[in-house]
Structure 1
Amino acid sequence: MTDRLRIAFMGSPQIAVHVLAALVAAGHEIACVYSQPPRPSGRGKKLTPTPVHAWAEAHGLDVRTPKSLKKAEEQDAFAALSLDAAVVVAYGLILPQAILDAPRLGCLNMHASILPRWRGAAPIQRAIMAGDQETGVDAMLMDAGLDTGPVLMSARTPITPATTAGTLHDRLAELAAELAPVALARWADGSITQQAQPEAGVTYAHKISAEDQPVDWTKPAGEVDCQIRGLSPFPGAFCHWTPEGEETPVRLKLLMSEASGASGGAAPGTVLDDRLLVACGDGGAVRITVLQRPGKGPMSASVFVNGTPIAPDTRLTS
């Protein structure tokens, strides 16, 4: 490894914790950790620190949680750290040019896609939802654009028909933790060449919203399957089911599925058998394998239908 570097780490969610831990284990000096401010959480709305904030405090690291880095005093405080580099992983705040310019080497971002595909806020979910067969992690030097800087190193991983956003998150966290110390060392000692991102193939991973969650059964089976897995376990795709003899629809959170079989010409949303095979809009069908109803935990479809049968020919709606 290169000489010990003085670093600021900037990150918020769990995926960033893995990278911070790897940099600490590599022997670098963490001058300060920046994370999003604590936010109300749970029924009691207690202020809760981010996973990075909690981990850093538990390991005796100095933590700062500014709401913005646009003010001159925040930029001066950052510059006063006299950093060799900053490492950024899903921080969630825009870094002004003064912040980008302050570290001697600049700012290194660990981004959860193979750029220029899926620049932006939700690359893990969007890659699955789009049916991509591969994704990964890029170690990228930050500039003023949105994930537009040159790439130093990449690590790739396949997306399989069993991949969910949750399992992919965990795999990319491992890859980022492995890649970050190596990319940082090679960046610092000059043994790596920056590669400008291609101009072709740019896509944007817009933030997941409530509009992404309802299942449109008129879409092809492959798209429905990718939507369900891409939003699992959070926030979850959902549909509605009206139990026999009742008038109020029940919202079902769909957590795992597989594109399986044909609809036999049934209308989209029609349950085709007693094991939750559902017709889609292309003549195909999706089998729901894990789901959740309000007030209950996730359960396999076999357990669900044993206790709450959904008869064939039932129609599920968005």
Structure 2
Amino acid sequence: MNIVFMGTPDFAVPSLDMLIAEGYNVVGVVTQPDKPQGRKKVLTPTPVKAAAERHGLPVFQPVKLRNPEAVARLAEWKPDLIVTAAFGQILPKAVLDMPVRGCVNVHGSLLPKYRGGAPIQRSIINGEPVTGVTLMYMAEGLDTGDMISRVEVPITDEDTSGSMFIKLSEAGSKLLQEEMPRLIAGETTAVPQDDAEASYARNLTRDDEKLDWSRSSRELFNQIRGLVPFSGAFTMWDDQVFKVWAATNPNHPDAQGTSQTGQTEPGTVLQLGANGIEVSTGSGSLWLTEVQPAGKKVMKAADFGRGGTLKPGTVLR
């Protein structure tokens, strides 16, 4: 049986590696085009492309999969089953109808919650205690297809989007591994999603990265974790971007400081010390532990505080 795999980021690599290790006949891999990265804008292959080349698999990188030429190219592989994981493009009906065993997707949430492109980040930002992976048949809607199986994965206060991407990619690979024999045989049982329970995880924008100090310390803590290690959160200090890469759990005993609420303007630097930089919020205070001033590298907030350029009473905007 011919299998075509579609994916782009690191999240998808364990699923591709599993298919190869289990001896399935992966005839080709579809991934996003190479993109320039870094200050020197070096053209860099996607993690899935790198994995495919490591396995000696042919790779196809269409700018738009819905173009008739791209559909025709994909059809040359004669797929019986298409497996996707964070591919990054919506599959057109011509592709969905192509394989006799259908198109299945490894999605990083417990559907129907968090349909869309940023389910892992949004789950953390919204303070969810648990998320998971859903294996689903693909339909023309955005993550609306029937669900084959799901697995739950807890989110701890120590988790960031980076750590959850790893946990969920591994959980997704195992889920796919368990279902592959039934997918090949056409013996899966799938159930429709309840659209009334659906929510959407839209892609993150610059606005999602801005810290609003009028929010609670817990909400800000979750926001910071949800943006690591990708964009990071930021605030404005002295009219320049001041990035925040880590903060201490506000419920942890080590995080307790002056904890002023309603006594100082949210965003006010309360103190600088061994724990980092304590900032007032709309409810409680938050210790920043890793920061990045404009034009500088990421550093420990305690080290930055000892420099003396940021002083108590400064208001971050």
Q: Same fold (TM over 0.5)?
A: yes
CA distance in 2, matches of 1:93, 1:199: 22
Q: Say if 2:19 is the partner of 1:23.
A: yes
Q: Say if 2:69 is the partner of 1:73.
A: yes
- Give the TM-score taking structure 1 as reference length: 0.91
Superposed CA deviations along residues 39-69 of structure 1, whole A, max 9, x for unmatched, are 2223333322211112211221100011112
Native 8 Å contact 2:31 2:60 kept in 1: yes
User: Which residue, out of 147, 150, 159, partners 2:146?
Assistant: 150
Native 8 Å contact 1:87 1:107 kept in 2: yes
CA distance in 1, matches of 2:307, 2:244: 17
Superposed CA deviations along residues 295-314 of structure 1, whole A, max 9, x for unmatched, are 43333322332345633222
**Identity within the alignment, %:** 40
CA distance in 2, matches of 1:184, 1:304: 51
* Corresponding residue for residue 161 of structure 1: 157
Native 8 Å contact 2:118 2:203 kept in 1: yes
* Corresponding residue for residue 296 of structure 2: 296
Structure 1 unaligned spans of 5+: 243-248
* Corresponding residue for residue 245 of structure 2: 255
Alignment of 1:124-203 (within 5 A): 124-203=120-199
Say what the alpha-carbon RMSD is for the aligned residues: 1.7
CA deviation after TM superposition for structure 1 residue 287, in Å: 1.3
CA distance in 2, matches of 1:44, 1:300: 27
Superposed CA deviations along residues 12-42 of structure 1, whole A, max 9, x for unmatched, are 1111112111111111111110011112223
Native 8 Å contact 1:276 1:310 kept in 2: no
Native 8 Å contact 1:6 1:84 kept in 2: yes
CA deviation after TM superposition for structure 1 residue 190, in Å: 4.7
The letter of the residue matching 1:290 is E
Superposed CA deviations along residues 152-180 of structure 1, whole A, max 9, x for unmatched, are 11121111222211111111111112111
CA distance in 2, matches of 1:46, 1:276: 36
SS for the counterpart of 1:161 is coil
Superposed CA deviations along residues 83-119 of structure 1, whole A, max 9, x for unmatched, are 2211101111111111011111001100000001110
* Corresponding residue for residue 228 of structure 2: 232
Native 8 Å contact 2:10 2:48 kept in 1: yes
Superposed CA deviations along residues 223-257 of structure 1, whole A, max 9, x for unmatched, are 11111111112111101223xxxxxx442211111
CA distance in 2, matches of 1:267, 1:50: 44
CA distance in 1, matches of 2:101, 2:162: 33
SS for the counterpart of 2:287 is strand
Superposed CA deviations along residues 255-294 of structure 1, whole A, max 9, x for unmatched, are 1112244224221001122231111113x11111222223
Alignment of 1:90-129 (within 5 A): 90-129=86-125
Structure 2 unaligned spans of 5+: none
CA distance in 1, matches of 2:157, 2:307: 28
CA deviation after TM superposition for structure 1 residue 221, in Å: 1.6
Native 8 Å contact 2:235 2:316 kept in 1: yes
CA distance in 1, matches of 2:92, 2:308: 54
User: Which residue, out of 40, 44, 50, partners 2:40?
Assistant: 44
Native 8 Å contact 1:141 1:150 kept in 2: yes
CA distance in 2, matches of 1:56, 1:297: 33
CA distance in 2, matches of 1:118, 1:308: 43
SS for the counterpart of 2:89 is coil
Question: Size of the alignment, in residue pairs?
Answer: 306
User: Which residue, out of 260, 269, 275, partners 2:267?
Assistant: 269
The letter of the residue matching 1:253 is K
- Give the TM-score taking structure 2 as reference length: 0.91
